[in-house]
Amino acid sequence: MAYYDSLFDTLGLREWCDQSAETAPTSMQALLGQLNSGTEEETAGGLPFPSLDVLHEACAQIPQTRDMTAGVEDAFLAARESLKLVLDPITQPLSWMLDGALWLFVNTPWFIIVPVLVALTWVVARSVGVTVFVALSFLFLGLIDHLDVALETLSIIFVCTGLSVALGVPIGIAMSRSNTLQRMVVPVLDLLQTLPTFVYLIPLIFLFSVTESKLYGIAIILYAIVPVIRLTDLGIRLVDRDVIEAADAFGMTKRQKLWGVELPLALPNIMAGVNQTIMMSLAMVVIASLVSAPGLGVLVLRGIRNLELGVGIVAGFGIVLLAVILDRASKAALGRIDKNKTAR
């Protein structure tokens, strides 16, 4: 007997409730019960919460929770073709960039790509210790035959981080100029920052083919772009008002103030945002291996699927090593900026 039969009888809705005699799908409560223990759990206190599934047992006209989830899926699938028509031309360059970067990093001989990356580290960090550490790390990855997959991961990070910065910094600048825009964008950033990483992949799998690079590229950018937007906005808003007033007194235009005053003073905050974006890109690259993203994440996934403990642990250590390389290089660059700022 349904718990709330008497409620609908008292309200005189029994005839209306009994009009639908369709066989309903398994309720969400029963489905969860099957996943947990094979049986539906008894409700503490004897009276269950009046959820949709519980009320459906007493009145068939009330939809179940799974009707709602099916409606969400149907609505998304109905809009799928229209979304693809709009998004495909916009996102196709991302696939070309990812595929091109992968080809470049993988097909360039190691004795060229490794010295180039080490030299790039020196240009960015200007630190002997960091540069030597990066060189030794690449040598170690090559020694254990993980250099190729590590370079695949690096190529994805370079592309996605670069696009995140290219898109995030202008958005952060625009937010710092308008309180209204900031109030509109912040809830979106909160959603992107709190959404579980696996959830990013669900709608993208329905929109794009698993063989398309832009599938994981979009997921990584959406996940990693948040810090650089927030910290660019914060950095510009923290610029001393007296400095802005002095720039106004010298007759500087808004563009001159932005490039000559605000961005240089906000650069430490922006670089901190870039550092966090790099770290989040690396974290998402591993998750994106579930949808064909190449690199070290594939080996971690293989270790989990096949219970190959050694493969998973060694690949995980390689990811940690890449994270340390990227973190030390970006923090050294940030330290240089802070030092130059103090010297001025």
Q: What is the mean pLDDT of the chain?
A: 85
pLDDT band at 63 (very low <50, low <70, confident <90, very high): confident
Does the pLDDT value for residue 10 go beyond 50? Answer: yes
* Per-residue model confidence (pLDDT) at position 190: 93
CB 3 within 8 A of CB 47: yes
DSSP state of 258: I
Question: Computed from CA positions of residues 60, 65, 66, 72, in that sequence, does the dihedral angle turn out positive or negative?
Answer: positive
| DSSP sequence for 170-203 | HHHHHHHH-HHHHHHHHHHHHHHHHS-HHHHHHH
| First-last CA distance in the chain | 79
Percentage with pLDDT > 90 across the chain:
47
pLDDT band at 108 (very low <50, low <70, confident <90, very high): very high
Q: Taking the domains of the chain in order of start, what are their residue ranges?
A: 5-63, 80-343
Which of the two residues, 212 and 337, has the higher pLDDT score? 212
Give the mean model confidence (pLDDT) for residues 94-107.
Answer: 94
pLDDT digits (tens, 9 = 90+) for 282-320: 988 888 888 888 999 999 989 988 988 999 999 999 999
- Cβ-based neighbours of 68, under 8 Å, separated by 6 or more: 52
pLDDT band at 112 (very low <50, low <70, confident <90, very high): very high
pLDDT digits (tens, 9 = 90+) for 170-199: 999 999 999 999 999 999 999 998 888 888
Written out in words, the top-level CATH class of the domain with range 80-343 is mainly alpha
Task: Give the integer Cα–Cα distance in Å for 133 and 264.
Answer: 29
* Per-residue model confidence (pLDDT) at position 42: 54
